[in-house]
Amino acid sequence: MKKLVMILFSCILIVSLAACNSSENEVDQASQEAVNMEMEYNLETKEFSPIMMQYGTSESLEAYTFAAEHPEVLDYMPCYCGCYEDDGHTNNTACFIDSVAGNIAKLDSMGLG
């Protein structure tokens, strides 16, 4: 989670610095786009959102795919990394998937490493 926050902060900072010569509206729009990047997996098309494709490794994307498509397996696997105290995770599914609405799985950044 901390890694994703730092990545997003860095993106916003870079966009802000690069846009110093731009108008204020352009800076606001670019910053908002960076914040709005969603970590998602589409269960129907089996595609990840752009931010996942940019920052995920082939191994982490494979793990996210498995978690999204087979939560019934990971629901029974407890997590021992201590994420319960920080994030309230009670099983390995929660380390990868925040929620599922329709065909869109919102992903947790913990699986990125």
pLDDT category at 113 given cuts 50, 70, 90 is: confident
Does residue 17 sit in the same domain as residue 58? no
Number of Cβ within a 10 Å radius of residue 103: 12
Q: Show the domain range for 47.
A: 38-113
Maximum Cα interatomic distance, the chain, rounded to a whole number of Å: 53
Contact status, residue 98 vs residue 108, Cβ threshold 8 Å: yes
Give the total number of structural domains in the chain.
2
Indicate if 25 and 42 belong to the same structural domain: no
Asked if residue 76 lies in contact with residue 68, where contact means CB atoms within 8 angstroms, the answer is no
pLDDT digits (tens, 9 = 90+) for 16-29: 333 333 344 444 45
What pTM value is reported for the model?
0.65
